Structure 1
Amino acid sequence: MLNNEQQSAKRLLTVKQVANDLKLSIATIRRFIKSKKLKATKIGKSYRIDANDYLDLTGHNQNQNEITQTNKPNDRPDFLYTKNPNHLRIFPGINSEVLEAIIEISDDIPALSELKQIISLHAKDCLELLNKIESEGIKDSQTAVNLLLVDEAIRNLTIRRNLFRNLIDKTGVVLLPLPPHLSDSFLALADHSLVFISDDEVPPHLKHVHYKHLSFVDPETVDRNLNNVQSVITEGYMENDNVYVRRNSAILIYQLCKKGLKDVFIHSIPHIPPHSNFVELNTGGERVDITYI
């Protein structure tokens, strides 16, 4: 039998455990903590949540001592999706975290013009979708948010479908690291010779992979093996309308642009890893479409 100290330790949950159990993003759980919706104790640089506080959040604090490892979507209270029950639910892993955050504050956005301002600041790639919704005669901001959720999901699924086709046709290059929800599906389809590691350090979920590092890819290899590449998938971010990617990725993309590269798909990262070297993406004056995934 566990003693009291062991029982207490067992009942302390990580942010990731809570996020996985509720099928929400870690960012959302952190927002719950910051807004005091969920009680948490900071231990070092991490948060720990008492199981009772978690059960208070979900409304199941009677005769339950642990989070089960099986996710049960029907156990999730409606308010975890949105403040407004009239809103559609997000599509986990498909809708962006920006729209997830907008859903949470959408009750406080009285005008469509204010919604457009937020989108233009934090999710410029969604602005065209919102403009289309407005052109259809939609004036209510909350109705616009609902349609934007669906339109963004459709757009993102279409992008992924086209990416999958490129990987199957061996015309797409994957540059690691990428987060698990992208790398798992991309690596299942990509040709081994078209996957490269662009950083000296990779996250734990990629420790088992064995792909060639970009540092060992010379121009002759690009000329010989990457002639038919149409798209590249990598991590990066935008700052002051400029796109930044890892240095090794930038060098390869520059070379491929000279060979007819059409698309660069970028997973936008929230912060730069301290050990990584990011530089501005240079296409050498060639026309290349940049799409965020």
Structure 2
Amino acid sequence: MKYLANCSMLFSEVPLLQRAAAAKAAEFDAVEFWWPWPDQPVPADADVDAFVGSVEDAGVQLVGLNFFAGDLAGPDCGVLSIPGRSSEFRDSIDVALGIGARLGVSVFNALYGNRVDDATPAEQDELGCENLGLAADAAARIDATVLVEAVSGPKPYPLRTADDAVAVVDALRGAGRPNVAFLLDLFHLANNGDDVAAAIEKHADVTGHVQIADCPGRGEPGSGDLDLGGLLAALTARGYDGWVGLEYKPTTDTEASLAWLPRAQRAAPVRSTT
């Protein structure tokens, strides 16, 4: 397995622009971030340059980045399928892909969107697929993949199980967007009561990225009762060889929460050329 640090949840002891460097100091070679400007779908050019520079200066690979998704804890979580907000998602596409082109980002997470009262589920699903298609077409220009994720928590987010999310992936692939894939977040599936082992068995072939946290609690591995080691082994056995993002809330400080992962296993594995 190759692990990366989600620097929107880890290393929160330091400001966001210092977190890539903190991850490198902890011997990670790769990182991912949520959208760095949660209140702005189109940040100032200087802010984008500062973010890109912080990653470049740290000497890490930015593997994953979220598109703009509104307030992740609020009613507008995942604006792409919300009629009054979806233009903000579209506005963020060029920004995200511009960062991706500069830093070699390979996966972009597009949160699907909460249900709202002023549109039917069918209308939201149509809009969501339209916007995912636009994002996938843009991502294809830099050979990147758009991810669709099932999410937990007390919000009216419609993709709650692996089957829910993969149905959207299948619809987009069927419409000619092969660069749309499933983001398999083991915590969210477990927290929703989904059968995580069955999800791996059924959907490993359309999984484009993996994120982990223990359950319950969303803390580091070992803080809950989810068999993360066994589940990751099952993924490997099913052929998954991509990144595993550490997207958890440390129960103490970040460095202490990483005690389960030896420093030697945090660096990206070197592939043999023979």
Instruction: Please indicate, yes or no, whether the TM-score normalized by the shorter chain is above 0.5.
Output: no
- When normalised by structure 2's length, the TM-score is 0.31
Structure exhibiting the larger radius of gyration computed from Cα positions: 1
Query: Which structure features the higher share of helix residues?
Result: 1
- When normalised by structure 1's length, the TM-score is 0.29
